[in-house]
Amino acid sequence: MKSISQLVALQRHRLAQVERSLREARHSLVDKQIEQDRHRMQLYAHCSMAKERERELYASVFDHVVKRHTVDHVKESLAALRRQEQQLQEALAQADCNVAEQQEQVKAAQYAYARQLARTEKYLELHRRFDAMAHQVRQLKEDMEIEEQPQRR
C-alpha cells in the first residue's frame, strides 16, 4: 500500500513539473506575441513616416531646377527608407516564426500535460481501489472477530 502511495506522490510531482512547463511555455508565447505586436507597430509607424517623408522629398525636387547632388541625396534618402523598411519586415517575419514555434511548444506541453494527467488519474484510481479493498478486509476481520467472540464463551 505504501508503494502505491509513493507512486501516486511521484505521479503528482511529475504532473506538477509538466504543469509548470506548460505555464512557462504559455508565458513565453505571450512574450513572443507582445514582441511580434511591437515589431508590427514599428513597421506600421515606419511605413506611415516613410510615405510622408517620400512625399516631402519628391515635393522638394518636382517643379524646380535642382542640382545633381540634390537628386542623389533624394535617391539615397529613399533607399535608406526602403532599407529600414526591409529590416523591419525581416524582424516582423522572424517574430512571426518565433510565435509559430512557441505555439508548437505550447501544443506539445499541453499534450504532455494531458498524458501525465491521465497517468496520474490512473494511479489515483488504483490507490482508491486498494484503499477500498483494504477497508473491506478490515471490515471482514472485524465481522469475523465479532462472530468469534460469542463462540469463545
Residue bearing cell 469475523: 144
Instruction: Indicate if the pLDDT at residue 93 is higher than 70.
Output: yes
Residues 29 and 107: their CA atoms lie apart, in Å, by: 11
Q: Locate 149 and state its grid cell.
A: 467472540
Residues 53 and 107: their CA atoms lie apart, in Å, by: 44
* DSSP code string of 112-132: HHHHHHHHHHHHHHHHHHHHH
Q: What is the pTM of this model?
A: 0.72
Answer yes or no: are the C-beta atoms of 1 and 134 closer than 8 Å. Answer: yes
Mean pLDDT, all residues of the chain: 91
* Fold topology of 2-148: Helix Hairpins (1.10.287)
What are the tens digits of pLDDT across the range 117-153? 999 999 999 999 999 998 999 999 988 888 777 665 5
Residues 93 and 149: their CA atoms lie apart, in Å, by: 83
Residue ranges of the domains in the chain? Answer: 2-148
Instruction: Indicate if the pLDDT at residue 21 is higher than 90.
Output: yes
Residue bearing cell 478486509: 137
78 SS3 class: helix
